[in-house]
Chains A and B, each alone.
Chain A
C-alpha cells in the first residue's frame, strides 16, 4: 500500500489541484449567485420586482373616466363606447398623475381616423370604413364628425 502511494504520489498532486479548483468554484458560487435564486423556479426572484417596477405609460380608461366623467358619459352612448381614451389620445399616465405636467395634444383627425376607418379588404365587412379621398375630399374628419360620438345627428 505504502509502495503504491509512493508510486502514485504525482497523481495525488493532481487530485489535490482538482479539489482546490472545486473549492474555489464553490466559494465563488456561494458569493456570487443571487440570494433566493430558485425560490419560485430556476430564476432570480428579484427579476420579478425589476419588471414590476417598470414605468406605466398608459393610464387605462378607468383612470381617465375618473376625472373626465362628462366625456365618458357622452362616449358610452355612441359607437365609440368600446374605444378607450388612450387608443386615440396616446399614453397619458403622466397626465393622470399630474394633469398640469403633460397636456395631451389633440391628434390630427385626418390622420388618426383613417388608421381605423380607411377602407381595406382585410377589414371585416361590417366594420364602418370609407375611401377617405372619395368620402371627404381631403377635409378633416372633425369637420362633420364628433370623435366621442361619431355618428352624425346623435
Chain B
C-alpha cells in the first residue's frame, strides 16, 4: 500500500514517539523500588580521595579489587595505574605504560637510571565536571555529596561525556551500552565502608576522604603536605588530591 510522504512521516513519527515513550516507561516499571541506605544524609558529606605517590608500589591490587567489586568488564578500567619513567630533566617526554591498566602489576623494565614511579588514576569526581555539563539528558550528574555518577537506566550511550572527560576515566560499558566509570564505590561509602580500591591497597597509598567531616585526617594532611590535582589548567575542580605528583605526569 502506497503511503503519502506526509502520512509516512506522521505515522513513523508517532511510531517512534510511542515506542520510545513505551520503552522508557517500561524500564521504570521494571526498575521497582531499590533498597535505599538508611540513615545516610547526603548533605553531611563531601567525598574526595587522597593518593600518596610515594607509597604506591604498582601492585595492581586496586585495579583487581575494583573489577571484583563493580563487575568491570575486562579491557575497560574504572581505575588504573600508570608507570612513569623520567630521564633526568626532560619532564616533557616521560615514558609511560599501563599494561592492561596494571591489572596484573608491572613487569620489570627500567633497571637503572632516571626516576620511575607509579600513578594510580580514577575518576576525579570533579566539582565542576565537564562531563556532567555536556550530558544531554541528565544521565550523569553530581550527587549532593560530591560524587559524579551515571544513571545506567537513563543513559543514551551517546558518548559525549566520554569525549568531554580530560582524564580518560570514562568508557562505554559493552554490557549495558551506557557510559560507565568509577562511582567512588557509592554503594559502599554510603554504608560507612571505604572504597574497594582503598580497602585493597596494601600500603594505604589511596585513602578515601570526607571533606565535610571535621574529624577526617584529610584536613591535617592537606594542611601539612603539598598536593596537586591532574590537569589543573582545566579548572575542573578535581577532588582526587595527589601528594608528590611529579611535573611529568599527564
Complex A–B touching at CB under 8 A? yes
Nearest-neighbor residue (CB-CB) of A88 within chain B: B202
How many angstroms between the C-alpha atoms of A71 and B191 in the bound complex?
Answer: 25
Query: Which candidate, A5-13, A42-50, A98-106, A137-145, is the interface stretch facing chain B?
Result: A42-50
Closest chain-B Cβ to A89's Cβ sits at a distance in Å of 10
Contact between A50 and B152, CB atoms less than 8 A apart: yes
| Residue-wise interface mask of A (30-43) relative to B, using a CB-CB cutoff of 8 A (1 in contact, 0 not) | 01101001001111
Closest chain-A Cβ to B66's Cβ sits at a distance in Å of 10
- A46, A115, A122: the one within 8 Å of B110 (CB): A122
Chain B residues contacting A91 (CB-CB under 8 Å) are 65, 68-69, 196
How many angstroms between the C-alpha atoms of A56 and B33 in the bound complex?
Answer: 18
B117 within 8 Å of A by Cβ?
yes
Contact between B116 and A82, CB atoms less than 8 A apart: no
B15 within 8 Å of A by Cβ?
no
Closest chain-B Cβ to A35's Cβ sits at a distance in Å of 9
Chain B residues contacting A87 (CB-CB under 8 Å) are 61, 65, 199-202
- A32, A41, A51, A124: the one within 8 Å of B25 (CB): A32
Contact between A124 and B108, CB atoms less than 8 A apart: no
How many angstroms between the C-alpha atoms of A100 and B5 in the bound complex?
Answer: 68
Contact between A49 and B36, CB atoms less than 8 A apart: yes
A14 within 8 Å of B by Cβ?
no
- A48, A84, A86, A90: the one within 8 Å of B143 (CB): A48
- A37, A50, A115, A123: the one within 8 Å of B138 (CB): A37
Query: Which candidate, B52-60, B216-224, B230-238, is the interface stretch facing chain A?
Result: B52-60
Contact between A56 and B188, CB atoms less than 8 A apart: yes
| Residue-wise interface mask of A (72-112) relative to B, using a CB-CB cutoff of 8 A (1 in contact, 0 not) | 00000000001110110011000000000000000000000
Contact between A120 and B106, CB atoms less than 8 A apart: yes
| Residue-wise interface mask of A (50-84) relative to B, using a CB-CB cutoff of 8 A (1 in contact, 0 not) | 11111111101100000000000000000000111
Contact between A124 and B109, CB atoms less than 8 A apart: no
Closest chain-B Cβ to A82's Cβ sits at a distance in Å of 5
Instruction: Summarize A's interface: helix, strand, loop or mixed.
Output: loop
Nearest-neighbor residue (CB-CB) of B18 within chain A: A28
- A32, A115, A122: the one within 8 Å of B117 (CB): A122
Contact between B187 and A54, CB atoms less than 8 A apart: yes
How many angstroms between the C-alpha atoms of A49 and B28 in the bound complex?
Answer: 13
Chain B residues contacting A58 (CB-CB under 8 Å) are 65, 68-69, 188, 193, 196, 199-200
B248 within 8 Å of A by Cβ?
no
B154 within 8 Å of A by Cβ?
yes
**A122 and B118 in contact, given A51-B149, A54-B187, A115-B105 (Cβ under 8 angstroms):** yes
Contact between A49 and B34, CB atoms less than 8 A apart: yes
How many angstroms between the C-alpha atoms of A30 and B113 in the bound complex?
Answer: 66
Taking Cβ atoms with an 8 Å cutoff, the residues of A that contact B are 24, 28, 31-32, 34, 37, 40-44, 46-58, 60-61, 82-84, 86-87, 90-91, 115-116, 118-124, 127, 129
Name 14 A/B residue pairs within 8 A (Cβ), A-sorted: A41-B142, A43-B139, A47-B149, A47-B153, A52-B36, A53-B36, A54-B70, A60-B193, A60-B194, A82-B202, A87-B201, A115-B105, A120-B106, A121-B109
Given pairs A46-B34, A50-B153, A122-B83, 4 additional interface contacts (CB within 8 A): A50-B152, A54-B70, A121-B116, A123-B58
